[in-house]
Structure 1
Amino acid sequence: MHKEYKKYAKQLGLGESADITAVRNAVVSRVFQESIGKRVILLQESFPFLFVGEIFAVEADFMLLKTEFTNIAEFDGELFRIHLDTVHVFFIEDGKHCIPDIRT
Structure 2
Amino acid sequence: MRRSDDFTDAVRGGARSGTRRLVVHLSGADGTGPAHTPLAGLVVSKAVGNAVERNRVKRRLRGLLSSRIGELHDGEKLVVRALPAASGASSAELAGDLGVALDRARRRARR
Shorter-chain TM-score bucket reads under 0.3
**Larger Rg belongs to:** 1
**Structure ranking higher in strand proportion:** 1
Q: Normalising to structure 2: TM-score of the pair?
A: 0.22
